[in-house]
């Protein structure tokens, strides 16, 4: 096992601690941006993914307001599109760096549209990537934080707090399950039993070259980007 692979032991616990610490430091979403860009550090990109998920969370709350003008809701919706794209980009970056650390993708090709896999032909392909599990864990951290607050509210009755406590326990179990799946996937990748791939989302609705509504707005003379 390489030194890079060794740093992935207990990855799920690191992720949970990172997510919870960011929420505790900020008092809730959105969390602070990572201190310094570190292009080749998977923990930096895990933090970045969590940051964008927390920004999405805050905007989703604002987008459901009913006593503000349509222009404010439209601004929320546009922000959601941008943060969602950034969240997916960060998830892909996490997968690139983890696969490089695991020796399962050619380093030079990892960030391209066609990463070259170095996985054994006998290794099973896991349909969910490690990055996508971490992304789900980030969302679960936000849900746990929000539901825990519901159990502590003083402006609601006991039934609300008790019901929230039941939901909180379920959310914590769900996050624990995801953590177990992440560590199992990493361990199986380290042993050569499994691998995952870098999947590009290619979110066409955010790209004026591919979204047919945006292409129509630009007209035939501006159809090429």
pLDDT tens, residue by residue, 118-128: 999 999 999 99
Confidence grade of residue 214 (pLDDT, cut at 50, 70, 90): confident
Only one residue has tokens 């399962």, namely: 104
Q: What is the pTM of this model?
A: 0.89
What mean pLDDT comes out for the span 62-80? 97
Give me the count of residues in the chain.
225
Q: How many CA atoms lie within 13 A of 209 on its CB side?
A: 4
Sign of CA dihedral 45, 47, 51, 53: positive
pLDDT tens, residue by residue, 152-167: 999 999 999 999 999 9
| Residue 56: partners with Cβ closer than 8 Å, 6 or more residues away | 80, 83, 84, 87
**Bigger pLDDT: 139 vs 211:** 139
Annotated domain spans of the chain: 3-205
Residue 183: cis peptide before it, omega within 30 degrees of 0:
no
- Give the whole-angstrom CA distance, residue 182 versus residue 176: 10
pLDDT at 82 over 70: yes
Confidence at residue 209, expressed as pLDDT on a 0 to 100 scale? 87
Instruction: Return the minimum-mean-pLDDT range out of 29-38, 108-117, 210-219.
Output: 210-219
Q: Identify whether the C-beta of residue 133 lies closer than 8 Å to the C-beta of residue 181.
A: yes
Confidence at residue 6, expressed as pLDDT on a 0 to 100 scale? 59
- Tokens (6 digits) for 95: 């997968």
| Residue 5: partners with Cβ closer than 8 Å, 6 or more residues away | 101, 102, 103, 190
């Amino acid at each position: 096992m390489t030194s890079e692979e060794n740093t992935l032991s207990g990855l799920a616990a690191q992720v949970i601690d990172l997510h919870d610490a960011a929420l505790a430091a900020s008092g809730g979403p959105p969390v602070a941006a990572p201190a310094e860009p570190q292009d080749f550090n998977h923990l930096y990109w895990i933090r970045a993914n969590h940051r964008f998920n927390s920004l999405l969370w805050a905007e989703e709350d604002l987008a459901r307001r009913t006593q503000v003008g349509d222009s404010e809701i439209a601004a929320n919706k546009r922000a959601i599109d941008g943060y969602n794209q950034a969240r997916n980009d960060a998830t892909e970056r996490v997968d690139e760096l983890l696969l490089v650390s695991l020796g399962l993708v050619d380093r030079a090709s990892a960030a391209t549209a066609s990463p070259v896999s170095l996985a054994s032909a006998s290794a099973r392909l896991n349909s969910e990537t490690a990055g996508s599990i971490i992304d789900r864990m980030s969302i679960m951290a936000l849900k746990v934080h929000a539901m825990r607050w519901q159990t502590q509210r003083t402006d609601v009755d006991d039934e609300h707090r008790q019901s929230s406590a039941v939901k909180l326990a379920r959310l914590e179990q769900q996050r624990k399950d995801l953590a177990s799946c992440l560590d199992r996937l990493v361990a199986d990748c380290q042993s050569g039993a499994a691998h995952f791939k870098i999947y590009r989302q290619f979110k066409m609705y955010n790209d004026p070259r591919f979204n047919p509504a945006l292409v129509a707005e630009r007209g035939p003379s501006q159809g090429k980007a």
